[in-house]
Chain A
Amino acid sequence: MMIVLLIIFACTLIYFFLSERVEKHINLLAVQGTLLFIIAFINLIEINVLGLILILLETLIVKAIIIPRFLNRIRRTNNLNRLVENYIPFFYSVLIITAIIIASFFTAYSIRNHFVDVKFLAIALSTILGGIYFTIVHKNIFNHIVGIMIVENGAFLLSLAVGGEFPFLVSMAVLIDILIAVLIIGIFIDKIGSAFGNMSTSSLNKLKD
């Protein structure tokens, strides 16, 4: 079951690069958030009520509902439909993300550490690297926030891989922190859209002396 979920998760990564539509990217983030909840729920054998509430908040509520809805609102406000500006063509990006997944798989299995769950580590690594690649390859700043969210999903999987559990208060602080950061980034994207008329990084180059 877990393997199937992780494979589906890896497939969402490839879909990010197959699609040109911004709405699909946001939907894929929601799918990843839901998958993360199911994966975490199955993976945690012994869990207290607080822990369950926290995971529910972080994955289903924040990652699968709040952030996608917020991003969709920004998308509609700024009339963003298709991505036209990329540094690398889509076809090559699909090949590169596939290579990243394969390389992450081999890297994870080459790490011999009893405290690390290799199957989670492989997908976590590919998600983090895939997210970084997604950010770099797009010129549109809206997709940069999508890239950060993918990397954060990878970080969540990594926390499952290493079995890291933070105290409740600290976890809450981390969750609120991430949420606030994403909301503020979203607000700034909105402002850039209205101030510069577009969301391309090429219009953000006035500060160089």
Chain B
Amino acid sequence: MADLSVKIAGIKMKNPVMLASGTCGFGEEFSRVFDLNLLGGIIVKGTTLKPRAGNKPPRAAETPYGMLNSIGLQNPGVEAVINEKLPFLRQFDLPVFVNIAGNSKEEYAELARLLGKAKGVSALEVNISCPNVKHKNSGLFCQDLGDVYAITKAVKRKSRVPVFVKLSAEVSDFKETARAAARAGADGLSLINTLRGMAIDIKTGKPKLANVIGGLSGPAIKPVGIRAVYEAFSAVKIPIIGMGGIASAEDAVEYLFAGASAVAVGTASFYDPLTPFKIIKGLNKYFEDNSFDSVSVIRGRVSL
């Protein structure tokens, strides 16, 4: 067995394979399918200060090699997450990253303060790239370098655990965005969030999503994720969790070459819940076959 263990921002993980936020709830459902202890880590559903009902259905549509979603951050709110969801996850030997989303830097800071005090939180993932909630310019927070800096700084000031910033690839200068987060003290980056897309039902002429626009995920977006990780790796020194279309060990290796220290599986676990384990097994084989000692041997080593 190859040694797949990794340490990112001081957090030890058995292997670099995590579940991506928004695709694994708070772990309860997948715990009925497989042993969560075998994962490298879990990034739980986007958590807001108040409970959120989410957007009107239909909320998802299948697209070529991917899907669109406009869930709209449906979650029970930070209090219920702390009191009802985290105790369940504490039963497992599993680093837990909590994804947080707010409408202002003050809300992000308050979430960081509350979750920083909670037991069983290994890190925060700051979601400033959700395509399904409205912000001031109806764009994404991460499209404004000032917001990236200010929100990251505000969270860092309150958080007692490492802070990862989740970005979208839909920004004009990705390297600058990554640098803004790093300058504000981010301990790591999560790349990438879904890309905004749209689909229309040609029988009715109506959008397939009630929210009209949604976030595209799945294998279709993998090359965009690889590009984002590659660019960020050259721009900042902090570790990167790569995500976007990962469905196999080969995809995970590609992200590692681009510069990721760990990877997260999202949409693929919808259609095959055992994807994370197939990836772990495949990574073992790949590292053994190539006699690589550790993940760091290939991290960012794409040869140009």
Real complex partners, A and B? no
Binding site for A on B (CB under 8 A): none
